[in-house]
Structure 1
Amino acid sequence: MSVKSRRSLLLACGALLAVAAVAVPVVVGTASAEQASANQPRIVGGNQASLADHPYAVYLTDAGGNQFCGAVIVSSTAVATAAHCAKAVAKQEIRVVAGREDKRTSDGEALGVSKVWISQGYSDPTQGGDVAVLTVRGQLGYRPAKLPESGDAGLYNKGTQATVLGWGRIADGGARSDYLRSAQVPVVSDSECRSDYTVYDQRSMVCAGYAEGGVDACQGDSGGPLVVGDTLIGIVSFGEGCAKAGKPGVYTRVSAYADDIKTQATPRLLG
């Protein structure tokens, strides 16, 4: 089985696309930005979405403006993304683009990154811990997503309808989207996901998608949010292809890292 992260492969030809729903994860620890871009997933089977409804959805580019992943605002100074996205491009080259629904415009802002935190022990998306927090230079003036609380365990129940967001490809091997897209996908039970992916770890991962396929994240969507309402329950991580039957998207289970994300996202006060 070939499992890939959902970053975008377009940097090689001048454009990085970041998606996170491929079933065969690709290790981005030492990969180039272009490799990261080519391995990412995008939203398949979805529709155009609005930042008015999801102001916390952002994407990542390199210094040349090439998109390679998605991310989600978690505080006024930080965004969460996939660890394999954070390791794909040098810190000084990463830009967080917020408030830009259509990538062809100059709306919103592009902020540099001052700090990168990656979950301890992360090595590969299929091994879990595929989460990172990027501290931006400046302030993000957009509403952040909510992090799950202890009483939100029910959000991970089988059948819960969640929304995945991203600017990635709209078909496996197809063209990338210029604008934000979203798709509704149901949470899949741990037992079902374990039968679909032998590498599945219910402590650090969660799956979402339809048994018949057709709707999924894709290349270029890696690092983007999976939300229920405005609560962040997952981060696009990896998958096998995009929207394949019997191969739901695999996401980082945010509840397992909520405390770490909150700690890293809290603005530091200068004494």
Structure 2
Amino acid sequence: MAKTLHRLIVSVVVSALASIFFVAPAANAGDVSPMIVGGTRASTATYPWVVYLASTSGSQFCGGTLVKANKVVTAAHCVSGRSASSTRVVHGRDDKQSTAGTVVNVTRIWVHPSYRTATSGYDVAVLTLDRNLNSATLPLATPQDTALYAAGNSALILGWGTTSSGGSASRYLLKANVPLTSDATCKSAYSQYSNTSMVCAGFPQGGTDTCQGDSGGPLVFGGKLIGDTSWGRGCAAAGYPGVYGRIASYHSVITAQL
């Protein structure tokens, strides 16, 4: 009863279950409480490849990264069991209350076939959009990009999620930088950690992290997408870094969907 899968939490139970490992069912993802903890305002003009996922009513529930004109990488737990017709991708909108940018329909959702739960890995998915977006895209980390995963690298995180575990949603896109941790550090925090499918990032003292609603959003270093926001204990807690899907490990299966 002490851990939280903090990236996607149903709003009506956030306060009661903030200390329990929990991923909201994807079928109800439109009902979730949609920031980066310890972040600052960011702009999609600077990061044009960061997008958010929304329900048909416009409620934001996860993040994602445009990796091809009509393809978005996100977390499997965001969309597993969810229909393409009930999912939208919002591009070029910093302020969720504005009408800026483009709202795009999703025609296909691919979830990694080995995905079961975020904590067991394979937490990656690819969305196919109904049109090509005129936008810069972010390259994927490859298996040869081992240097990008070195402990201490200061990686960029982006999202529209909550500013604290169980806290209020951000209206605006936020960003922060967090250092990648060593495999040993992450394994000591989480017994479920696997260096073949995950990577951790965060300061030892906490204070900066992804949080509820940031799931599926990007972890960026070296001009490449090296991770997608997946899970962790609470948000920005000392000794418990955020856990991200290790994109390099999934490069071939993601590329097959592009």
TM-score scaled to structure 2, two decimals?
Answer: 0.92
- What's the offset of the Cα at 1:229? 4.0
What do the CA deviations read for 1:75-130 (whole angstroms, capped 9, x no partner)? 01110000000126322110000011111111111111111111111110000000
Structure 2, unmatched stretches of 5+, are none
**What does residue 33 of structure 1 align with?**
29
**What does residue 268 of structure 1 align with?**
none
CA-based RMSD of the aligned residues comes to 2.0
Distance change in 2, residues 1:131/1:103 (3 Å): same
Aligned length: 253
* 2:255 maps to which of 259, 262, 266: 262
**What does residue 209 of structure 2 align with?**
216
How far apart are the structure 2 equivalents of 1:24 and 1:261? 31
Q: 3-state DSSP class of the match of 1:184?
A: strand
**What does residue 73 of structure 1 align with?**
66
Equivalent pair of 2:176/2:208 in contact (CA under 8 Å): yes
How far apart are the structure 1 equivalents of 2:59 and 2:21? 21
Equivalent pair of 2:30/2:60 in contact (CA under 8 Å): no
**What does residue 246 of structure 2 align with?**
253
- What's the offset of the Cα at 1:170? 1.2
The answer to whether structure 1 residue 52 and structure 2 residue 45 are counterparts is yes
Residue 108 of structure 1 aligns to which amino acid in structure 2?
G
Runs of 4+ aligned residues of structure 1 deviating over 3 Å after TM superposition are 22-25, 27-31
The answer to whether structure 1 residue 125 and structure 2 residue 118 are counterparts is yes
Equivalent pair of 1:25/1:125 in contact (CA under 8 Å): no
Distance change in 2, residues 1:161/1:24 (3 Å): farther
Structure 1, unmatched stretches of 5+, are 14-21, 266-271
Structure with the larger RCO, 1 or 2 (CA within 8 Å, 6+ apart): 1
* 1:199 maps to which of 177, 188, 192: 192
- Percent pairwise identity: 43
How far apart are the structure 2 equivalents of 1:257 and 1:104? 34
Distance change in 2, residues 1:128/1:143 (3 Å): same
Residue 262 of structure 1 aligns to which amino acid in structure 2?
T
How far apart are the structure 1 equivalents of 2:24 and 2:124? 13
Residue 8 of structure 2 aligns to which amino acid in structure 1?
R
The answer to whether structure 1 residue 3 and structure 2 residue 4 are counterparts is yes
How far apart are the structure 1 equivalents of 2:118 and 2:6? 7
- What's the offset of the Cα at 1:8? 4.5
How far apart are the structure 1 equivalents of 2:81 and 2:231? 15
Equivalent pair of 2:142/2:247 in contact (CA under 8 Å): no
How far apart are the structure 1 equivalents of 2:90 and 2:127? 12
Residue 28 of structure 2 aligns to which amino acid in structure 1?
S
What do the CA deviations read for 1:196-222 (whole angstroms, capped 9, x no partner)? 001111100000000100000001100
